[in-house]
Amino acid sequence: MNNRAEVRINLKALAHNILHAKGDSKADFLAVVKANAYGHGLIPVAEVALSSGATWLGTALLEEAIELRTAGITAPIIAWLTPPGEDFKRAIELNIDLSVPSVSLLNEISSASQKLGKRARVHIEVDTGMTRGGLLDEWDQFLKLLPNAHVEVVGFWTHFARADEPLSDYTQIQVNSFEAKLIELQSAGISPQFIHYANSAASLLRIGANQNILRVGIAMYGLSPDLGFMGTSAGLGLKPVMSVAAKLHLVKKVPAGSPVGYGGTAITEKDTIFGVVPMGYADGIPRNATSATGVTHNGTRAPIIGRVSMDQFVVDLGPESTAQAGDEVMVISESGYNADDWAIASSTINYEIVTRIAARVPRISV
């Protein structure tokens, strides 16, 4: 290991997760690669996903989709978070599908299409109960304007709010709302080719007969959509794709009664050995992480002690440790502290743990 820290991406695990999440479904598989592929590396993940059975790619931002096209990727791509004023002409030129959640965006994309002389490929997003993105109060007005818009409607979609809660009936309520709106759309003479609403949780739970695209994000990276309701990644048959390694910057003996870090928020209870890990909140390590997480050295767990700093944090290696400066420790690993452990110790979710690992930490494919 030549770096002070590095993110290791297991591409075989990525391929496994795609096949597992798809199962025997005949639907297309849309690999969600937004946010630098959930922190895993946009281009390498996209390429492996496509070679492993994915037929679509999905991004939140238009610039992410453009980056994929610039890298030579020709597969269908949809970008679904495009505020007014985006470069829709460029998107249309590059055959990037766009999501339309409002009348104003429909008009803007339609105008760009007319100026270019090429119809934009759009997916209509409806709000069925997430109460976030998608058409809601403008639905009737939208239906009246849509037939005259200079766009090609190729998709119709929504997003689930509670698909990771198998015992909740809310997902079925959303499905019912979605299907009612689909009927209204078809009655207006518009029949999209692609119908989609299944996220990772819905795909793993096999929810969704009336659809032909599965949109899989977190499960593709080997992480459970929800520990409480769906259980661990291993229990779901998933393999974590990301691990994070670092070198110990410093190892030293410290006496009992030593205050540690900013504010002296921790005090050693006995003589012990500390290790300084050269990663901090500038690298994506949560500042509020507790001693419920840390690193492993040769398979032995060493918990965090004191506050995480911008570029470093301290771990208690224990009084019998034989660790030396320069030794490798695992910050995130399947057999040590995993992304779920870090999430619990930081009062957040595994999504945030992996996506927040900073770009200054190199990604290495293994």
Q: What is the DSSP secondary structure assignment for residue 232, as one 8-state letter?
A: -
**Contact residues for 79 (Cβ-Cβ < 8 A; gap 6+):** 58, 59, 60, 61, 62, 64, 65, 91, 96, 97, 98, 99
To the nearest 10°, report the CA torsion of 19, 24, 26, 31.
Answer: -20
CA distances from 30 to 21, 159, 184, 223 (A): 11, 14, 26, 17
* 56 touches 31 (CB < 8 A): yes
* 4 touches 249 (CB < 8 A): yes
CATH node for 11-228: 3.20.20.10
* Annotated catalytic residue, options 22, 34, 181, 239: 34
Question: Does domain 242-365 sit in CATH 1.10.10.10?
Answer: no
- Residue 264 zone, left/alpha/beta (φ > 0; ψ -120 to 50; rest): left
Give the Cα-Cα-Cα angle 40, 43, 44 (nearest 5 degrees). 65
- Domain locations in the chain as residue ranges: 11-228, 242-365
pLDDT in tens, 22-58: 999 999 999 999 999 999 999 999 999 999 999 999 9
**What does DSSP say about strands 28-32 and 56-59: parallel, antiparallel, or unpaired?**
parallel
Backbone angles phi, psi at 113, to 5 degrees: -65, -45
Q: How many alpha carbons lie under 13 Å from residue 108 in its C-beta half-sphere? A: 17
**What does DSSP say about strands 328-332 and 272-277: parallel, antiparallel, or unpaired?**
unpaired
| 22 catalytic residue (yes or no) | no
Q: Residues 8, 9, 10, 11: is their CA dihedral positive or negative?
A: negative
3-class state of residue 62 by DSSP: helix
Q: What average pLDDT does the chain have?
A: 97
Report which secondary-structure segment, H or E, holds 157. strand 151-157
78 C-beta neighbours (distance < 10 Å), count: 25
3-class state of residue 213 by DSSP: strand
Q: Write down the H helix ranges in the chain.
A: 11-22, 34-38, 42-51, 62-70, 88-93, 103-116, 139-145, 170-187, 200-204, 227-230, 339-345, 350-355
CA distances from 243 to 317, 338, 353 (A): 20, 8, 11
3-class state of residue 196 by DSSP: strand
| 262 catalytic residue (yes or no) | yes
Alpha carbon distance 27, 209 (integer Å): 10
* Annotated catalytic residue, options 115, 144, 262, 270: 262
Alpha carbon distance 9, 244 (integer Å): 9
Residue 207: its pLDDT value, please? 85
Residue 129: its pLDDT value, please? 97
Of residues 240, 274, 238, the one with CA closest to residue 255:
274
Q: How many alpha carbons lie under 13 Å from residue 258 in its C-beta half-sphere? A: 16
pLDDT in tens, 136-185: 999 999 999 999 999 999 999 999 999 999 989 999 999 999 999 999 99
CA distances from 218 to 202, 288, 297 (A): 12, 23, 28
* 316 touches 274 (CB < 8 A): yes
Positions in the chain whose pLDDT score sits under 70: 209
